[in-house]
Amino acid sequence: MLTAGIALLLFCVMSSGAQAASGEFEYTRADGMGHVTLVDPGNECRTLSTGNGAKDISNRTDTVASIYKFDDCRADGFIATVAARGGTWPPSPTLTVAHAVKFG
């Protein structure tokens, strides 16, 4: 009985961490070549515009998004969090370009 309870607990913990964000994450390519929309993005680190970067971000998913200066989402490149359900970045004009995003 204890083994079954532990297995159920592990399943629930692993399942909750693996869910993707629901909704849309939209940004303008930093090179000026249009807008990109990610629909129901996964929780893994995602490069924005294949290294060209992003500006004018709008997070319409149900999950907080963290944006980074580097393509690999490493901690020393953290820029900001973008709130779920309508959060935007940047709050004011900036020369900083986001190169990656991770949800959760």
Domains of the chain: 20-103 (2.60.20)
Q: Report residue 26: phi and psi, to 5°.
A: -120, 145
57 pLDDT higher than 80: yes
Per-residue pLDDT at 50: 75
- The string of pLDDT tens digits covering residues 81-96 is 999 999 999 988 888 9
14 pLDDT higher than 60: no
Tokens for 85?
A: 């359900």
- Please give the order of strands across the beta sheet that includes 87-89: 35-39, 23-29, 54-61, 87-89
Closest CA to 38 of 22, 53, 16, 51: 22
Per-residue pLDDT at 91: 82
pTM over 0.85: no
Torsion of CA 17, 19, 24, 29, to 10 degrees: 60
